[in-house]
Structures are given as structure tokens and as C-alpha cells.
Structure 1
Amino acid sequence: MQVSQVMSRDLEFADPADDARALAEMMGELDVGSVPIGTAENPLGIVTDRDILFRVVARGLEPSSVLARDIMSAPLLECDPDDNLDTALAIMAAQHVRRLAVRSPDGPIVGWITLADLSRRLLLGSGSLQNALTEISSDSAA
């Protein structure tokens, strides 16, 4: 199975001059755990909820005074829409990240794939897991 079959195509980018409070608000509104910084054509990095927690809150900094450019992880790690899921998972494991930007060859960012996306797809594709979930669901209904 290819990355393009699993990735999220919803893209919202933030500006490098946006502050951590605005980024947190954006994440809350979009119900996501990260926001890419820059544009689809020129991605600069990514800020995650963990970045805000550890690089801002845990240090006692005022979120409205910390800019995205100062806490973002860069460069943005990427895979290709035609990569298979094992390739994306291998990149995540090797780089110790939970998400990858999906970039079309010589083009813009076209989506995101996360560890949660991969886990759902790989686990739900398992017949034994599906059977177990069905049994658990039917047992709890009784």
C-alpha cells in the first residue's frame, strides 16, 4: 500500500513569525498535534504540541513571546506519495519522528502521514486484530 492511500490531505501552514500561543490555538481549532511552518511550496519546519510543551511551557516562557521560527524542528522530513508504508515507517524510525510531510516529486507538500495513520492502517489490516476487536465489541455489548 502506498503513502498516498493513507495520508491526510488537509494542509494548514503557519507563518514563522506566528507565536506559540497562536500555534497552540491553531492546533486546537484543527484538532491536530502539529503545524507545519512556511508554505506547501517552501516548507521551513514543523512545530508540535510537544515542542510548545517542552520548549516553551516547561521553560516558563510566555507563549505569546516565543516565535515559531525559534521552536520549530527543521528541516521538515519528507516522503513521496508513491512510497510504500514500510518505507515511510522506516524513515520515521530512523529519524525518531512521528510524522512526515508528503511531497510530490519536484513539487509542493501534498499531505501528511503520521505514525497514528500508519498504525491504524497496518493494525486494522490484520485479520486477527479485526477479529479480536469484533469479539471485544460484541462481548461488551452483551
Structure 2
Amino acid sequence: MRVGEIMALYVEFIPAEVPVSEAAELMGELDVGALPVGTAEDLQGVVTDRDILYRVVARGLNGAEVTVGAIATRPVIGCGEEDSLQDAMNLMAAHHIRRLAVRDDGGRVIGWLTLGDVARHLLVESGSVQTVLRDLTEGHGTEAAPEARPVQVR
């Protein structure tokens, strides 16, 4: 499986000069935990909900006065769309991160791969998980289940 097969193709970038408070609002609207800072051609960093929490809120700073560029995490770790999903997962694990910028051969960001994307893919592709869930929801496989017995409480 290749990264390009499951990556998100739509990436919402945020300019570095935008206040953190606006970034937090946009994250809420998009229901995401991070935003890439800059543009597809010039990725300057990534700002995460944790960056906002630890670098702004915990320090008592005003999110309307601090820019995302000032707190963005750098460098942004990335991969290519032709990289294997296993290599991407190894990269995430090695760097203790949950998301990767997916770049083309020229370095332009063409997608985003998150740990959530990987988890969803692995769950959907797992036939055994699908079988168990189907059996549970459709009542299959319950014929051999032991009969329920009442429990006495003293």
C-alpha cells in the first residue's frame, strides 16, 4: 500500500502571520488537530493543538497577539506519495508524530497523512475486524454462545 492511496488530498494551509486565536478557531471549524503553516510551495512549519496549549495557553500568552509562525513546529517531517504505508508509519513512530506532509518530487505539498488516516485504512482493510463487526451487528455466530445464567448477589 502506498501513501498516495490513502492520504488526504485537500490541505488547508494557514499563513505564518495569522494570530494563534484564529488558527484555533479554524482547527475547530475543520475538526483537525494541526494546520500546515505557509503554502504548498513554501511549507514553513506546522501548528498543532498541543503547540497552542503548551506554547501559548500554558505560558499565559494572548493568542490574539502571538502568530502561528512564532510557535509552529519545525522542521515538518514528510514523505512522498509513492512511499510505502509501512515506511510512513515507521517515520511517524521514529519522530513521535501523528502527521506527515506528503510532497511531490519538487518538494511541493500535495497531501497530508495522519495517524487517523492510517488507523481507518487498517481497520477497513482488516477482513477479520470486518467479519467480527458484521457478526456482532447482524447476530451471526451467536448460535454456540453459552446460555446466560442469572447471578445471585448476596
**Deviation per residue, 1:55-80 (Å, 9 max, x gap):** 21122221111111221101111100
Residue in 2 that maps onto 1:18: 18
Question: What do you get for the CA RMSD once the two structures are aligned?
Answer: 1.2
User: 2:135 and 2:11 mapped to 1: Cα distance?
Assistant: 37
Distance 1:55 1:138, change over 3 A: farther
Task: Summarize deviations over 1:28-67 as a string: whole Å, max 9, x none.
Answer: 2222111100110010100011211222112222111111
The aligned counterpart of 1:69 is: 69
CA distance in 2, matches of 1:31, 1:7: 17
CA distance in 2, matches of 1:129, 1:36: 33
Unaligned runs of 5+ in 1: none
Aligned to 2:82: 82
Identity within the alignment, %:
47
| TM-score, length of structure 1 as denominator length | 0.92
How many Å apart are 1:132 and its aligned residue? 1.8
Corresponding residue for 2:100? 100
Q: Larger Cα Rg: Structure 1 or Structure 2?
A: 2
What is the rounded CA distance, in whole Å, between the counterparts of 1:74 and 1:55 in structure 2? Answer: 14
The residue aligned with 1:130 is 130
Q: What is the total number of aligned residue pairs between the two structures?
A: 139
Bigger share in helix: 1
Distance 2:104 2:63 in 1: 34
* In structure 2, C-alpha distance between the alignment counterparts of 1:73 and 1:136, rounded to whole Å: 43
Equivalent residue for 1:57? Answer: 57
Instruction: For 1:106 and 1:11, locate their aligned partners in 2 and report how far apart those are by CA, in whole Å.
Output: 17
Runs of 4+ in 1 over 2 A off after TM superposition: 135-139
| 2:114 partner amino acid | T
